[in-house]
Homo-oligomer: A and B are copies of this chain.
Amino acid sequence: MIDKPIMSAKEAVKMISAGSIIMVGGFMGCGTPKSLIDALNEQGTRDMTLICNDTAIYNPDKSLITGVAPLVINKRFKRIIASHIGTNRETGRQMNENETEVTLIPQGTLAEKIRAAGAGLGGILTPTGVGTEVEEGKQIIEIGGKKYLLELPLFADFALLKAKKADKAGNLVFSRSARNFNPIMAMAARTVIVEAEQIVEVGEINPDSVMSPFIFTSIIVPVK
C-alpha cells in the first residue's frame, strides 16, 4: 500500500470549486465531517450541487445547527439532492421561493443510486415510489406483473466523509450509526476526502474490520 496525502481541511477543500458536485456523508449531522464543512463554508464556494441524505438540523430558536446546515444557510448550493429536509427549515424556504432547486429522493433509492454509481451498475429497479410523484419522468419496468422504477446511478466529483479511524493507506472504520452513507459515497466520487478522528499506521487495522477499503480514499484530513 502507498500512503495517501494527509492535509488540513482548509487545504483539502481548495480543489472544490463553483459548480462541483459534492456528496456528504452523515444523517442529521451524525457522521458528517465537521472540519471539512467548516473549511468549505469559510472558503465560500458557491453554486455547488449537494448530495446528502438530509440537510441536517437548523433550529435558530435553539441555536442548533448540525451537518451541512451551515452551507445551506449561506446559500452555497444551486441544487440539493436529499431524502429529507424537514429539520432544516431554511432548505424548505429556499425551495419554496425557488432560490435553490431541491430534488427529494426516497432514502433507500438514494442509497442504491449512490451504490450503483460506485458498483458500475447502469441502474437498479425499485418498487419504491411507484404510483407517487417520484415516478414522474422515470422508466417503469414491469416484471412478473409488478411495477418497478428504473433508477439511475448518482455520481459526484467529491465525497466528504467522516471516519472514526483511518490508516495512512486510507482504510476506514466508522463508528456506530455514524457509518450511514459514508461507505457507499466512498465508492461513488472521483475524489474522496476523509476526515478521520484517528490516523494510524498501515497494518494497525485488522483487515476483517475495514469498512471501506483504502482504494476509495484520496485524501485524509485529521479532525481539527
Contacts and interface: CB of A to CB of B under 8 A. Distances in A.
Nearest to A147: B122
Interface of A is mostly: mixed
Contact of A112 (B121, B152, B173, B207): B121
Contacts of A124: 116, 121, 123-125
Interface residues of A, number: 24
Contacts of A141: 122-123, 150
A175 interface: yes
A2 interface: no
A62 interface: no
A208 B174 CA distance: 8
A143 to B, nearest CB: 5
Question: How many copies altogether?
Answer: 2
A209 interface: yes
Given A176-B208, A208-B175, A208-B176, A123 B143 contact: yes
A176 B209 CA distance: 10
B176 A148 contact: no
A150 B139 CA distance: 13
Interface string A186-215: 000000000000000000000111000000
B122 A148 contact: yes
10 contacts: A112-B119, A120-B126, A122-B125, A122-B146, A122-B148, A123-B124, A123-B148, A125-B150, A174-B208, A176-B208
